[in-house]
Amino acid sequence: MSSPQREEWKGACSKEMDNLRKHNVYTLVPLSIVPKREKILGTKFVFKKKLDGRFKARLVVGGHRQEPGQDYGRSYAPVCRIGSIRMTCAIGCHNNWPIYQLDVVGAFLNARCDRDVYVRPAPGTSAKNSATGEPMVYKLERSLYGLSQSPALWNDTLDESHTVFGWKKTQSDPCVFVYISGNIIVILTEPTDRFEMTDMGEVKRILGIDVQRDYEQGTLAISQEHYVNTLLERFGMQEANPVSTPGYGAEISTNQPQDLILGPTDKKIY
């Protein structure tokens, strides 16, 4: 690893592997016992620096090599409708209820695999039998990011948990659950009872939407200013000025070779 922040990234990788072991995501098995018909999928780390400055590494599986119907069955999982997010904000504002945001730690790791899946050890790690020196591979006990079936398995786990703990799924959105007990009403976009959660406090930003709350005035405003600015920065358009479109045709010469107009980075972005 040649990054000037390699120590931070190495620490993030170690933290990720500790989390996988904590959730019993895999067991080490000898390569020789893997059935010949089974694919051994590759793995890699995906790195991201979070908005709060944390260095995040995630071990993902090369699920692009899986064949539907052979290596996995279902892959679809619903996502919360944007209308449900707005509805929750509106209900909270109308009743002056606080709206809290929580994050499931290693969400997919809570779901069990529905079939045998074998993957290669994480990059930078050595997995061999200490006595014989035989290569070892991971046999997944739980779903892992990158597997085609992981979203569906995680959704099944959520459905099971909301039933066990008394949550009711709304008919309008399969990702919204309601719990009513006496005078207590709780609306969740995901149930939380059986999962390790990170308390993110009152919602400030969710799915690219900024939420501004004024309890004294009884108002709640949502916008995507931060998201729009992020997109402008991504495409190098922070200082861009609007122009009339379509143009008149004389502004840009079409006689220039494309490479003089668009560089490699421009071609990739646009």
Cis peptide before 121 (omega within 30 of 0): no
In sequence order, what DSSP letters do the residues of 82-125 get, joined into one string?
A: HHHHHHHHHHHHHHT---EEEEETTGGGGSBPSS--EEPPPTT-
Q: Tell me: pLDDT of 190 over 60.
A: no
Question: Closest Cα partner for 140 from 122, 166, 158?
Answer: 122
pLDDT of the residue at 259? 58
Question: Closest Cα partner for 136 from 115, 114, 118?
Answer: 118
* pLDDT band, residue 242 (cuts 50/70/90): low
- Tokens 């010949």 -> residue: 36
Q: Tell me: pLDDT of 69 over 80.
A: yes
Amino acid at position 193, single letter: D
* pLDDT band, residue 102 (cuts 50/70/90): confident
Query: Residue 248 has which token pair?
Result: 């008149």
Q: Tell me: pLDDT of 79 over 60.
A: yes
* pLDDT band, residue 199 (cuts 50/70/90): confident
How much is the average pLDDT of 13-36?
92
Domain ranges of the chain: 6-203
* pLDDT band, residue 5 (cuts 50/70/90): confident
Measure the CA–CA gap between 53 and 104, rounded to whole angstroms: 19
Measure the CA–CA gap between 215 and 218, rounded to whole angstroms: 5
Q: Tell me: pLDDT of 43 over 90.
A: yes
pLDDT of the residue at 122? 87
Q: Buried b / exposed e across 132-145, counting CB within 10 Å, b at 16+?
A: eeeebbbbbebbbb
Percent of the chain with pLDDT over 70: 85
Q: What is the pTM of this model?
A: 0.76
* pLDDT band, residue 233 (cuts 50/70/90): confident
230 φψ region: left (φ > 0), alpha (ψ -120 to 50), beta (else): alpha
pLDDT of the residue at 141? 96
Measure the CA–CA gap between 221 and 203, rounded to whole angstroms: 12
Amino acid at position 171, single letter: Q
Mean model confidence pLDDT for the chain? 85
pLDDT of the residue at 147? 95
Spacing of C-alpha 123 from chain mean position: 21
pLDDT of the residue at 128? 83
